[in-house]
Amino acid sequence: MRMLFIGFGVGVAVGAGGCYLYLSAVKQPELRRGGRAITLDENHHALKFGAPETEIVRQYEGYIAAYDYRTRNPKWVLEHITRDSSSGDAKRDGSEFFPDPGVEPRFSAKLSDFRGSGYDRGHMAPAADFKSSQKAMDETFSLVNISPQVGAGFNRDYWARFERFVKELTYASSDVYVMTGPLWLPTRSQLEDEDGGGGGGGGKGKGGKWTLVHDWIGKPPGLVAVPTHYYKVVVADPRGGGEPGKAPARDAVSPLAKGAVAVGAFVMPNQPMDARSPLSAYVVPLEDLEQVAGTRFFPDLLGEPRRRAALDTAAAGWRQEGLAQLKPFERLSMKQALAALPAPGSGAADVETSTVSTAKGASSSSSSPSRPAPPPAPKTPEGAGVVHICDVNACQLPRVDWYLPNGSGAGNGGSGGKRRAAA
pLDDT for 19 equals 64
- Is residue 311 within 8 A of residue 289, CB to CB? The reply is no
Q: Is 127 helix (H, G, I), strand (E, B) or coil?
A: helix
- Return d(Cα 181, Cα 75) in angstroms, integer: 6
pLDDT value of residue 411: 39
What is the spatial distance between Cα 145 and Cα 97, in angstroms, rounded to a whole number? 10
Please give the pLDDT value at position 351: 32
User: How many helices (H) does the chain have, and how many strands (E)?
Assistant: 11, 13
- pLDDT for position 335: 33
Parallel, antiparallel or unpaired: strands 386-388 and 229-237: unpaired
> Is there a cis peptide before residue 220, judged by omega within 30 degrees of 0?
no
Secondary structure (3-state) at 319: helix
- Helix ranges (H only) for 154-274 are 158-168
CA–CA distance, 58 with 74 (Å, rounded to integer): 10
Q: Which of 44, 123, 214, 229 is catalytic?
A: 123
E strands within 17-93?
55-59, 63-68, 73-81
pLDDT at 148: 98
- Please tell me the distance from the alpha carbon of residue 145 to that of residue 399, in angstroms, as a whole number: 26
Model pLDDT, residue 376:
73
Dihedral angle at the C-alpha atoms of 183, 271, 137, 235, nearest 10 degrees? -50
Q: Is 270 annotated as a binding residue?
A: no
Has 229 been annotated as catalytic? no
Instruction: Check residue 12 and give its pLDDT.
Output: 54
The pLDDT value recorded for residue 326 is 74
Separation of alpha carbons 117 and 122, rounded Å: 13
Q: What is the CA radius of gyration of the chain?
A: 22
Nearest to 10 by CA among 412, 336, 352, 414: 336
Residue 387 corresponds to which amino acid? V
Of 318, 341, 330, which is closest to residue 395 (Cα–Cα)? 318
Task: List strand residue ranges (DSSP E) for 124-271, in order.
Answer: 146-149, 175-183, 187-188, 210-211, 216-217, 224-225, 229-237, 261-269
Q: Quick one: pLDDT at residue 36?
A: 55
Report DSSP letters for 247-306, one per residue. TTS-STT-TTTTT-EEEEEEEEESS---TTS-GGGGB--HHHHHHHHT---SHHHH-SHH
Calculate the CA 250 to chain-centre distance.
Answer: 23
pLDDT by residue for the chain (423 residues), tens only, comes to 555 444 545 455 556 666 665 665 554 444 444 445 567 788 899 988 988 889 999 999 999 999 999 999 999 999 999 999 988 888 988 899 999 999 999 999 999 999 999 999 999 999 999 999 999 999 999 999 999 999 999 999 999 999 999 999 998 888 999 999 999 998 877 554 444 444 444 445 555 788 899 999 999 999 999 999 999 999 999 887 444 444 444 444 566 656 789 999 999 999 999 888 899 999 999 998 999 999 999 999 999 899 999 999 999 999 888 888 875 545 343 233 333 333 444 333 333 333 323 333 333 333 333 444 556 788 898 888 899 999 998 999 998 887 777 644 333 433 344 444 444
Which three-class secondary structure string do you get for 338-355? HHHCCCCCCCHHHHHHHH
- Do you know the residue count of the chain? 423
Classify burial at 265, counting beta carbons within 10 Å of its beta carbon; exposed 0-12, middle 13-18, buried 19 or more.
Answer: buried
Cβ atoms 178, 232 nearer than 8 A: yes
Q: 2-14: b or e for each residue (b if 16 or more CB lie within 10 Å)? A: eeebeebbbbbbb
Q: How far is it, in rounded angstroms, from Cα 216 to Cα 231? A: 19
At residue 14, the pLDDT reads 52
The pLDDT assigned to 385 comes to: 86
pLDDT at 81: 95
